[in-house]
Chain A
Amino acid sequence: MALKLEFNIVGGDFNLAGKASSKIKKKLVQLNIDPKMIKRIVVATYEAELNVVAHAYSGILNACFDPLFFTATVTDKGPGIEDIDKAMEAGFSTASGIVREMGFGAGMGLPNIKKNTDELKIESVVGKGTTLFFKIYY
């Protein structure tokens, strides 16, 4: 039976960004997963958290720790992504000045999630929100 954890993500609150990924990391360490795989997983979940904080009003991250792989589903309520192909291009960003001041918003998030995951699906409805699903084998 795979272990499942659910986290709420608050849009706009940079102080809380990373809390879910930090808990996911601790759980993966506890499960004795290879540190290189842990890094791939938590970089992907952290990038996903940051996307919600930077662009959406709220979101939920569902993490599933299967014996052979990790999956995350991140669903947000927000403006959605108009052009997913464009959002996947390195360097394309719609992030605000505040996000950039924090050291992010360089248009590297989604490409970095793709780099670190084995499967990635993005569904988005403009004006409603975005759902991101990814899978990483240990």
Chain B
Amino acid sequence: MKIAEIIMLTEASVIAGDPGKQINIEKAFSCDLMSDVLTLDDHNIMLITGLANVQLIRTVEMADIPVVLLARNKSATEEMIQLAEENDIVLLGTAFSVFRASGVLYENGIKPLY
């Protein structure tokens, strides 16, 4: 799924990064536990989370996750935005809950990791 479609389905806004990035997201992981995110082996996945801090961006940088969706209008700090831009991470924000965003994306073909 293209980033544009993820944005449309979750009524998201772009907080950082280039949403026109040529990438095909096939799977998603919904999680607030960064320790768990660091154990994922898949590539080209997206993370849906309610956790908004600098370590979220650091974690996805190390775990090679190109797209992150912040649920429930969680706001990103300047430092998070700067780090995401620096590391070519697309950071999106939605008013949807983690559950709703996950459900909508699942219904439209995004697969779970487990």
Contacts and interface: CB of A to CB of B under 8 A. Distances in A.
Interface size class of A (residues with CB under 8 A): 20 to 34
Interface stretch (A1-9, A42-50, A69-77, A79-87): A42-50
B56 interface: yes
Contacts of A109: 35
Given A15-B79, A115-B39, A103 B58 contact: no
Contacts of B14: none
A43 B35 contact: no
Nearest to A39: B64
Interface in B1-47: 32-39, 43
B53 A102 contact: yes
A39 B62 contact: yes
A17 B35 contact: no
Interface in B69-114: 79, 87
A106 B62 contact: no
B79 A46 contact: no
A38 B64 CA distance: 9
B73 to A, nearest CB: 19
Interface of A: 14-15, 17-18, 21-22, 25, 35-36, 38-39, 42-43, 46-47, 102-109, 112, 115
Interface of B: 32-39, 43, 51, 53-56, 58-59, 61-64, 79, 87
9 contacts: A14-B55, A17-B55, A17-B58, A18-B61, A18-B62, A39-B62, A39-B64, A103-B35, A103-B56
